[in-house]
A and B are shown apart, each in its own frame.
Chain A
């Protein structure tokens, strides 16, 4: 355990530990509220009296008072933190001395972790862009009118699950991994292990077509790899579409073709990322698709 306690107070790491605690706390709050509201709905007691919006109070003093109190507590917390703990300051910047490990600011460590599994243009450029665009697209592709203004899970199972997975696992957990589990050489270290700057892990990774004995850099390999990626998206979009169509799904009708395509593309991109992580860790897959210009 000594190592984790040592790392915990290095650099900005205590802020990231706090981040983890705050997120866990609010996830519990959100899901408890959601379960409570869902139960009230099932029992036909929704909306509860106080949720009807009839019981109004004046902002002055009731809201302003609360804001003031919260402000005092937050300022107090920040001041105490600033008195008790010093902000990190390392040696003078030196372009000739590369620290090992070199880490990006903590909120980008999820993306840096992606570098293990993807080329930089995907991990550092494509994913962030997709995250930003995808987040902004949410209100336009989530056409479910329910769950507007109250916590619920039952009425928004798909939306809440996907967002919770993306935010909690692919963002928060990967940040925690990047901060506390990635040591020298960006190797995986458990909290009780000391970081060893000389550790070497010999790993050979293979491109997808090499598993079936075809050179991934050859034209054939490139075409096969490309087909796999394209087919992944195509089938991922087409199969649920066909099923929903056959069932005469109301959701699909309301979504319309374009919205459905956007949802499916973003969803399968996110899932694809998880699949690639899994394949790399378990089967040592390097690239699914190799071309002279880019690799996926």
Chain B
């Protein structure tokens, strides 16, 4: 095809009603167009229109907040795919993982990347917090956003923690057993904690029982971990990320960015 017909096809496509309804405006190489690319696009409007050049340097922000968000999106996507192959029951869960390894097309890489990506997200969220501390970016007027960030950190750990049990293997089961055994010792509301016994706490009515849906890590615990991991915590985290990002924009960047 020659250049002329190329241009003609392009002209026809981009001036069609369908194209115009999807892409709100023509993108050309003007400043106005670049600004509109940010403010006029749903996926881009989170960004400020312009940023200080030095803030772009990787050695300043390390990109860790962004990477954490990216991993959250990736894990959500991969998690949805994994859910198609997974039953949260003690009889099936383990064998579903085996199926992912040996018979589901691309199942192995799906599971592997979900596992490693999850660990990586825990790592990047910690490093993000370290960076924000080191640049003092939590200082006024961004105090509250730091607090939201701490809650997000906790929920990231809980996301990983609840996911740990879902494979229903020795590693997951005992990690969750060790982790939730701590809850027994909660003061007042754990049956082995200070003043727990005096308040009538037993293994069948304390806070650990509420977490596990039982007194041992069993079928109910698996279901609870599944619901927390796949629905409840992602919803909470999505909401908090929204607030977190909105506050980043509204509070402004630190250090005259």
A23–B123 alpha-carbon span in the complex (Å): 9
Majority secondary structure, A binding face: helix
Q: Could you tell me the distance in whole angstroms from the C-beta of A156 to the nearest C-beta in chain B?
A: 7
Interface residue from B53, B116, B120, B185 paired with A120 (Cβ < 8 Å): B185
B253 sits at the interface (CB 8 A): yes
Query: Looking at the complex, which one of B37, B53, B147, B253 makes contact with A149 (CB distance below 8 Å)?
Result: B253
Task: Knowing A60-B44, A107-B160, A111-B182, say if A55 contacts B194 (CB, 8 Å).
Answer: no
Contact A26 B254 (CB under 8 A): no
B109 and A82 contacting across the interface, CB-CB below 8 Å: yes
**Which residue of A is nearest B114, CB measured?**
A87
Give residues 138-163 of B contacting A (CB, 8 Å): 138-140, 142-144, 146-147, 150-151, 153-154, 157, 160-161
User: Are A52 and B146 in contact, CB atoms less than 8 angstroms apart?
Assistant: no
Instruction: Give chain A nearest CB distance to B184 CB in angstroms.
Output: 7
Residue of B nearest to A149 (CB): B255
Within the complex, which residue of B37, B47, B49, B116 is in contact with A15, where a contact is CB–CB below 8 Å?
B116
Q: Which among A107, A119, A125, A146 is the interface contact of B122 at CB below 8 angstroms?
A: A107
Partner of A90, one of B56, B60, B112, B171: B171
Please tell me if A130 contacts chain B, counting CB pairs below 8 Å.
Answer: no
CA distance A123 to B182 in the complex (A): 8
- Distance of A275 Cα from B145 Cα, bound (Å): 33
Per CB-CB distance, the 4 closest pairs between chain A and chain B, nearest first, are A149-B255, A124-B182, A53-B256, A149-B254
A251→B195 CA distance, assembly (Å): 40
Q: What is the CA–CA distance of A54 and B113 in the complex, to the nearest angstrom?
A: 42
Known: A93-B170, A125-B190. 14 other contacts (CB 8 A): A26-B127, A34-B134, A56-B52, A59-B48, A83-B112, A87-B115, A92-B169, A93-B217, A136-B146, A138-B138, A142-B139, A149-B254, A149-B255, A151-B135
CB distance from B58 to the nearest CB of A (A): 8
Contact of B136 among A61, A140, A149 (CB under 8 A): A149
Number of interface residues of B (CB under 8 A): 102
Return the contact of B170 from the options A22, A99, A140, A151 (Cβ within 8 A): A99
Give 16 CB contacts A-B under 8 Å. Answer: A26-B62, A51-B255, A82-B117, A85-B116, A107-B122, A120-B181, A120-B184, A120-B193, A124-B183, A125-B183, A125-B187, A132-B154, A135-B129, A149-B254, A151-B135, A160-B134
- In the complex, A105 has a CB within 8 A of chain B: yes
Contacts of B182 in A (CB 8 A): 111, 120, 123-125
Q: Which of A73-81, A203-211, A261-269, A280-288 lies at the interface? A: A73-81
Q: List A residues 276-296 near B (Cβ within 8 Å).
A: 293-294
Task: Answer yes or no: A145 CB below 8 A from chain B CBs.
Answer: yes
| Contact across chains for A125 and B193 when beta carbons are under 8 A apart | yes
Complex CA distance for A117 and B139, rounded to whole angstroms: 35
**A136→B150 contact, CB < 8 A:** yes
Known: A105-B164, A149-B253, A167-B130. A64 touches B123 (CB 8 A): no
Cβ-closest chain A residue relative to B142: A139
Q: Tell me the minimal C-beta distance from B157 to chain A in angstroms.
A: 6
Contact yes or no, B171 A11, CB < 8 A: yes
A29 within 8 A of B: yes
Q: How far is the CA of A216 from the CA of B139 in the complex (A)?
A: 46
Instruction: Give which listed residue, B66, B98, B153, B183, contacts A67 with CB less than 8 A.
Output: B66
With a CB–CB cut-off of 8 A, which chain A residues contact B139? 139, 142, 144-145, 147-148
Q: Which residues of A contact B154 (CB under 8 A)?
A: 132
Tell me, in angstroms, the Cα distance from A124 to B135 when the chains sit together: 30
Q: Which of A97-117 contact B (CB under 8 A)?
A: 97-99, 102-108, 111-112
A-chain residues with CB within 8 Å of residue B115 when the two chains form the complex: 12, 82, 87-88
For residue A18, which residue of chain B has the nearest CB? B123
Asked if B179 lies at the interface with its beta carbon under 8 angstroms from chain A, I say yes
In this assembly, does B232 line the interface, its C-beta being within 8 Å of a C-beta of chain A?
Answer: no
| CA of A12 to CA of B164, assembled, Å | 11
Residue of A nearest to B47 (CB): A59
B113 surroundings in chain A (CB, below 8 A): 78-79, 81-82
